[in-house]
Structure 1
């Protein structure tokens, strides 16, 4: 099974025959999965907070500390649903 000039087919070489063990691959995969499960919600939360601060403080020209005040959101809720 030789292919010109004494070279062998790739399936016959030692490199192709050696496959990574399932335990090694799954060991890395669960760490990546846990990192995604933890990091994605954290990044989404921080992007929400940064967006609120920029939108309320910079664009709306209001004090940025009011973003974290519950009264601000109660007031917005009352404005949205005043007629219902």
Structure 2
């Protein structure tokens, strides 16, 4: 396929066909950082959401989010009749 001026497109030339594309290899440390960053961000967003939900919305002390007895009490309330 030629242009109107008679010059071929660069993709049609032999040089463009023989030209190797550089490999875009990724550094393994960058990939591992990205893989580990997603669960870490999810964990922190869960903790912040629990703190906002329990402390701000529920009007309770925010420090009780980290107390295991709080979740035992919720479990007992949910499954008391079963």
Q: How many residues align?
A: 80
Greater strand share, structure number? 1
Deviations 1:17-54 (A, max 9, x none): 23113xxx23x164453233101101100000000000
Equivalent residue, structure 2, for 1:9 = 9
Structural RMSD (CA)? 2.5
Q: TM-score, normalised by structure 2?
A: 0.77
Q: Which residue in 1 is equivalent to 2:65?
A: 67
Q: Which has the higher helix share?
A: 1
Structure 1 unaligned residues grouped into runs of 5+:
none
Q: Structure 2: which 5+ residue stretches go unaligned? A: none
